[in-house]
Chains A and B, each alone.
Chain A
Amino acid sequence: MHELGLTKELVDIVDARAREAGAVKIKSIMLTIGAFSGVEADAVSFCFEVVAKGTLAEGAELVIERVPLKVDCAGCGRTSVNEDNFPICPLCGGTNVVITSGREFVIRSMEVEDNV
């Protein structure tokens, strides 16, 4: 479960950024997780509660946007989503593809509370 280490990194990033901004609490964190990132969103949520304890992110809500695997096919020239999560063109079966999205594990933004 490599999500434990990654979630610790996530919490380190948001905690540091919130402190830099003079915030006292993180209310919510907006994440993007790609279907072909090797990162399981449920595992991140599971780890987050434990890892966030004692940081500004404790109790914050994780809002996770899941992004499907999208490929540009050199064979047929089309861009499409592979719902089966294989780096293959679902339209023509071509394997000569470039992944254009689906590998993300990104913190987009967060909602923080300032001092009174």
Chain B
Amino acid sequence: MCDECGCGNPDTTKTAGDNAASHHEHKHTHDHGDVKILELGADVRARNDAIAAGTRNLLKKRGITVINLISSPGSGKTTLLEKTLVALKDEIKIAVVEGDQQTDRDAERIRACGVPVVQINTISSCHLDAHQVAHAIEDLPLDGVKMLVIENVGNLVCPASFDLGEAMKVVLLSVTEGDDKPLKYPLAFHNAGAMVITKTDLLPHVDFDVKKCRSFAKRVNPALKIIETSCRGAGDLSQWLDFVRGFGTDK
């Protein structure tokens, strides 16, 4: 029994309104009782992290490795994913969890690539949490699947703080966003294992300095793997596909 969403309720949104709805009048005793200190030492993220650890463990046992894609909206997560699924369809069986505030438009795009996909709509929430993902996986046919890709809600801030059970967070940064994003949003780049610079075909048209961006990213995360991609026209996904291949078979 799940005490967070009430299992079976498709709306996984958690809002202050839920709490306000259960508001009730306290019967205050105005003769105050004893005051005491309770020691807790409780990490507020412990439950999320425990659920994430459960997901990681469950999928590892099934031989499935998990990537959590994070980025600001419009950096090209879904497009990169579509191209990847098509390119690797005969090599690695991949399943996808799609996160968006609303609509199943991205899930439809992924479904069209012929892979199992489940869409989570967070409604008011700005990120996926481990609890939502754990439930979403229950709806995915995982037989033969070797890799699960979670496409997080487009947001470079909030998703950085939540473990979903992934082996690695991969952060995307498109060249139209600016080369200094790793310094402005250090947590996202620090917590990621790899950064994908997307839309490199647009470099002749924008003031994005790839060398500077790489240097900024290495400052907040020296171990970060950096990959450049372009999905337009002939595109260039070779570095990325090699990375995914290695990830899908090594882990």
Complex formed: what's the CA distance from A3 to B32 in Å? 32
Asked if residues B127 and A9 are in contact (CB atoms below 8 Å), the reply is no
Count of interface residues, chain A, beta-carbon cutoff 8 Å? 48
Contact A9 to B16, CB < 8 A, known contacts A58-B26, A112-B38: no
- A113 on the B face (CB < 8 A): yes
Asked if residues A113 and B42 are in contact (CB atoms below 8 Å), the reply is no
Complex formed: what's the CA distance from A104 to B46 in Å? 11
The proximity string for A residues 72-116 relative to B, scoring 1 for CB distances below 8 Å and 0 otherwise, is 000000000000011110000001100000001111111111111
Interfacial residues of chain A within 1-51, with CB under 8 A of chain B in the complex: 1-2, 4-6, 8-11, 13-14, 17-18, 21, 23-25, 27, 36-39, 47, 50-51
Contact A86 to B220, CB < 8 A, known contacts A54-B24, A113-B32: yes
B44's partner among A53, A85, A107, A113 (CB-CB below 8 A) is A107
Contact A2 to B161, CB < 8 A, known contacts A87-B186, A106-B42: yes
Asked if residues B40 and A110 are in contact (CB atoms below 8 Å), the reply is yes
Asked if residues B40 and A112 are in contact (CB atoms below 8 Å), the reply is no
Asked if residues B219 and A105 are in contact (CB atoms below 8 Å), the reply is no
Complex formed: what's the CA distance from A101 to B134 in Å? 29
- Chain B residues in 8 Å Cβ range of A9: 44-45, 47-48
Complex formed: what's the CA distance from A14 to B220 in Å? 35
Asked if residues A86 and B186 are in contact (CB atoms below 8 Å), the reply is yes
- B218 on the A face (CB < 8 A): yes
Nearest CB in chain B to that of A5: its residue: B14
Asked if residues B44 and A4 are in contact (CB atoms below 8 Å), the reply is no
Nearest CB in chain A to that of B43: its residue: A106
Complex formed: what's the CA distance from A1 to B16 in Å? 12
Asked if residues B38 and A17 are in contact (CB atoms below 8 Å), the reply is yes
Asked if residues A54 and B19 are in contact (CB atoms below 8 Å), the reply is yes
Most buried by B among A2, A55, A104: A2
A105's partner among B31, B36, B45, B222 (CB-CB below 8 A) is B45
- B34 on the A face (CB < 8 A): yes
Contact A39 to B161, CB < 8 A, known contacts A86-B220, A112-B38: yes
Interface residues of B (CB under 8 A from A): 14-16, 19-20, 22-24, 26, 28-29, 31-45, 47-48, 125-127, 129, 157-158, 160-162, 183, 186-187, 190, 218-222
Interface residues of A (CB under 8 A from B): 1-2, 4-6, 8-11, 13-14, 17-18, 21, 23-25, 27, 36-39, 47, 50-51, 53-55, 58, 85-88, 95-96, 104-116
What would 18 A/B residue contacts be, using CB atoms closer than 8 Å?
A8-B14, A13-B40, A17-B40, A18-B38, A21-B38, A23-B38, A25-B26, A36-B190, A38-B187, A50-B20, A54-B23, A88-B219, A88-B220, A106-B41, A106-B44, A107-B44, A112-B38, A114-B35
